[in-house]
């Protein structure tokens, strides 16, 4: 229907134009062509001058009236260190191009009026060459252009310092795809692990991270709609890539904008200088931001209170392009460190202990030993201090390992958790525990029972060898009878093969 109406309008407009043309022709025949042309040229010349005045006044007025809504002015001054320099470059460019813009429009329209044809008495001046003029319009733009380009290059070099390994900076990685960003943080070691596109596995490893690289096991990946946290006054390097089509990593408030190209990593370095809170305060000084955020709720929070920094995709990358928007929160360094420490690494939550884990039974990483120690401590403390009778008395010893199919305790790896348990046993001197062994359902039930029994006893022996009194310990094998997960999957069986700590009395 809309198309039909649009087509009808265009058709009718064409008819009107043709009719006016016919009418002018007819009146020219009646009044004499020259007289008609003269008066029509004058009318059009005046109309052009009026248009020029309205257009130029409108341009200047609107730029002034809406300056507070434009990046770089009023409330929207830069939130990053380099942004001020970029805004300055834009202003210098605007100054020169503004002069040219206004002058060319004045000349264009004024000359159309002044040199309109009013008879046959006027002829254009013709000259073949004028060295002076050529010089002026070559040299002046050349000087201005050189100045602008050189200034731009200097600014670009300032914005992009060459970071060496000695510089302190936070490197994060943004991977764009239809239609979201995966943001990767380097975890405690400050290093992003290697990636290889051949390792991409949509179900378990959508970024193709190489888990064999130890730098990758503590990497944190923010998915979907999580807020992106950044520390104030810290140099941040963003590695930008894409998995499918072109995207664009755009942080308007920080004047950061860089294409995300599949197969060709790009990067950007910037330093946020205002926390989200500080930027909100900056906004609150302007009347435009003192209005309610939601017009339907006049007593609700003000616009400045609801402000968030955003990451947008600035490339029209497909139907769901809009949903690539992400909120960015800039906080003080201390707050950032606390936030980062509270994040679980992708490896720990998704890969560890599964079949695809290259480190299963081979290595424990310092951060997981630490995390596991505090988990065990709080699990036991929870049970000890519980008065409601709801706390869990069965605590899985997640870092106790045996040789495959045998009861040989891998004490090289198991010593961390078990030694920590010894410490906790001496802290809670009245605690008595049972060590409970469990298996999956592979093989026959009787041998599983005996395997679980001897495994539990191996842990018991280890604890006794470390000085825990035998009277506080017992060991029992439960075989395959108490699975936690299905035995139908490899991951499920992995979980079912376990040794548990059962607190008998506090």
Nearest distance from residue 315's CB to Cu ion, in Å? 5
Pairing type for strands 266-270 and 394-396 reads unpaired
Q: How far is it, in rounded angstroms, from Cα 200 to Cα 209?
A: 7
The nearest distance, CB 343 to Cu ion, in angstroms, is: 25
To Cu ion, the closest distance from the beta carbon of 170 in angstroms equals: 24
| Minimum gap (Å) between residue 483 Cβ and Cu ion | 44
61 backbone φψ class: left, alpha, beta (φ>0; ψ -120 to 50): alpha
Alpha carbons 449 and 478: distance in angstroms, whole number = 6
Residue closer to Cu ion by CB (options 317, 331) is 317
Task: Please tell me the number of Cα atoms within 13 Å of 83 on its side-chain side.
Answer: 21
Name the minimum Å distance from CB 313 to Cu ion: 3
Strands (E), 394-472: 394-396, 432-438
Peptide bond into 179 cis (omega under 30): yes
Instruction: Tell me whether residue 312 or residue 356 sits nearer to Cu ion (CB atom).
Output: 312
If the CB atoms of residues 247 and 253 are measured against Cu ion, the closer one turns out to be 247
Which structure tokens are listed for 493?
């069986």
Q: Are 272 and 342 in contact (CB under 8 A)?
A: no
Select from 240, 251, 313, 400 the one that contacts Cu ion (CB under 5 A).
313
Q: Near Cu ion by CB under 5 A, which window of 184-192, 244-252, 283-291, 370-378?
A: 244-252
Contact 337/234 with Cβ under 8 angstroms?
A: no
Among the listed ranges 134-142, 210-218, 310-318, 346-354, the one in contact with Cu ion (CB under 5 A) is: 310-318
CB atoms within 10 A of CB 252: 16
Q: Which helix (H) or strand (E) holds 184?
A: strand 180-185
Quick one: which segment of 130-138, 308-316, 403-411, 475-483 binds Cu ion (CB under 5 A)?
Answer: 308-316
Report how far residue 336's alpha carbon sits from residue 326's, in angstroms, rounded to the nearest whole number. Answer: 18
CB of 175 to Cu ion, least distance (A): 11
Stretch that binds Cu ion, among 319-327, 377-385, 439-447, 488-496 (CB under 5 A): 319-327
Task: Select the span of 7-15, 53-61, 139-147, 243-251 touching Cu ion (CB under 5 A).
Answer: 243-251
Residue with Cβ nearer Cu ion (19 or 323): 323
- Min dist CB 244 to Cu ion, Å, is 9
The Cα 491–Cα 487 span in angstroms is 8
- The smaller minimum CB distance to Cu ion, of residues 247 and 255, is found at 247
Which tokens sit at 368?
């997981």
Closer residue to Cu ion (CB): 314 or 473: 314
Helical (H) or strand (E) element with 270: strand 266-270
CA-nearest of 406, 443, 437, 440 to 501 is: 437
Residue 6, token pair as written in the block:
């649009």
Instruction: Output the six-digit token pair for 381.
Output: 């403390």
Note whether 399 binds Cu ion by CB under 5 A: no
Binds Cu ion (CB under 5 A): choice among 221, 283, 317, 400: 317
Which one of 11-19, 247-255, 263-271, 488-496 is the stretch in contact with Cu ion (CB under 5 A)?
A: 247-255
Span from 198-206, 211-219, 313-321, 488-496 in contact with Cu ion (CB under 5 A): 313-321
- CA 239, distance to chain mean position in Å, is 11
Beta-carbon neighbour count of residue 413 at 10 Å? 18
Q: Name the minimum Å distance from CB 350 to Cu ion.
A: 25
CB of 321 to Cu ion, least distance (A): 5
Among 247, 253, 280, 326, binds Cu ion (CB under 5 A): 247
CB of 76 to Cu ion, least distance (A): 23
CA 418/CA 88 separation, integer angstroms: 62
Cα atoms found within 13 Å of the Cα of residue 328, Cβ hemisphere only? 25
Sign of CA dihedral 135, 141, 147, 149: negative
DSSP letter for each residue of 200-268: -BTTTBTT-B-TTSGGGTT-EEE-TTPPEEEETT--EEEEEEESSS-EEEEEGGGTEEEEEBBTB-EEE
Q: Using CB under 5 A, which residues numbered 93 to 122 contact Cu ion? A: none
- C-beta closer to Cu ion: residue 73 or 179: 179
| Cβ nearer to Cu ion, comparing 177 with 307 | 177
Q: Mask of contacts with Cu ion, 54-93, x by CB under 5 A?
A: ----------------------------------------
Q: Which stretch binds Cu ion (CB under 5 A): 78-86, 166-174, 323-331, 460-468?
A: 323-331
Q: Which of 66, 54, 178, 42 is nearest to 105 (CA)?
A: 54
Contact set with Cu ion (CB under 5 A): 247, 313, 317, 324
């Amino acid at each position: 229907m809309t198309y039909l109406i649009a087509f009808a309008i265009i058709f009718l407009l064409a008819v009107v134009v043709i009719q006016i043309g016919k009418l002018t022709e007819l009146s020219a025949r009646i009044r004499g062509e020259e007289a008609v042309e003269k008066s029509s040229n004058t009318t059009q010349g005046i109309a052009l001058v009026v248009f020029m005045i309205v257009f130029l006044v409108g341009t200047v007025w609107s730029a002034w009236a809406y300056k507070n809504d434009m990046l770089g002015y009023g409330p929207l001054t830069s939130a990053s260190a380099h942004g001020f320099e970029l805004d300055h470059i834009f202003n210098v460019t605007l100054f020169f191009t503004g002069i040219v813009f206004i002058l060319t429009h004045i000349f264009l329209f004024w000359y159309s009026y002044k040199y309109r044809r009013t008879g046959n008495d006027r002829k254009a001046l013709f000259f073949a060459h004028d060295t002076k003029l050529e010089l002026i319009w070559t040299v002046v733009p050349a000087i201005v252009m050189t100045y602008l380009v050189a200034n731009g290059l200097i600014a670009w070099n300032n914005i992009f310092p060459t970071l060496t390994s000695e510089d302190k900076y936070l490197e994060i990685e943004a991977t764009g795809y239809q239609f979201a960003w995966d943001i990767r943080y380097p975890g405690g070691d400050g290093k992003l692990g290697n990636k290889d596109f051949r390792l991409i596995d949509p179900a378990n490893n959508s970024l193709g991270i190489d888990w064999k690289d130890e730098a990758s096991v503590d990497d944190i990946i923010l998915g979907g709609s999580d807020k992106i946290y950044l520390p104030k006054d810290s140099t941040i390097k963003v590695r930008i890539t894409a998995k499918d089509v072109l995207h664009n990593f755009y942080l308007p408030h920080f004047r950061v904008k860089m294409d995300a190209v599949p197969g060709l990593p790009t990067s950007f370095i910037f330093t946020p200088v205002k926390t989200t809170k500080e930027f909100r305060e900056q906004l609150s000084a302007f009347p435009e931001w003192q209005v309610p955020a939601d017009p339907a709720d006049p007593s609700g929070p003000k616009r400045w209170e609801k402000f968030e920094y955003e990451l947008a995709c600035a490339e029209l990358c497909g139907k769901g392009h809009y949903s690539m928007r992400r909120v960015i929160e800039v906080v003080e360094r201390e707050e950032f460190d606390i936030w980062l420490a509270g994040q679980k690494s992708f490896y720990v939550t998704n890969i560890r202990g599964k079949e695809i884990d290259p480190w299963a039974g081979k290595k424990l990483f310092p951060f997981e030993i630490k995390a596991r120690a505090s988990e065990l401590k709080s699990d036991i403390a929870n049970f000890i201090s519980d008065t409601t009778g709801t706390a869990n008395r069965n605590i899985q010893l997640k870092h106790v390992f045996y040789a495959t199919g045998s009861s040989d305790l891998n004490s090289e790896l198991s010593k961390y958790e078990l030694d920590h348990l010894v410490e906790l046993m001496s802290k809670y001197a009245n605690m008595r525990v049972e060590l409970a062994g469990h298996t999956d359902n592979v093989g026959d039930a009787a041998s599983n029972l005996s395997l679980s029994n001897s495994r539990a006893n191996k842990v018991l022996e280890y604890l006794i060898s470390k000085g825990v009194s035998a009277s506080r310990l017992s060991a029992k094998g439960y075989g395959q009878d108490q699975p936690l997960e299905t035995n139908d999957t490899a991951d499920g069986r992995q979980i079912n093969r376990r040794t548990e700590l059962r607190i008998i009395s506090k």
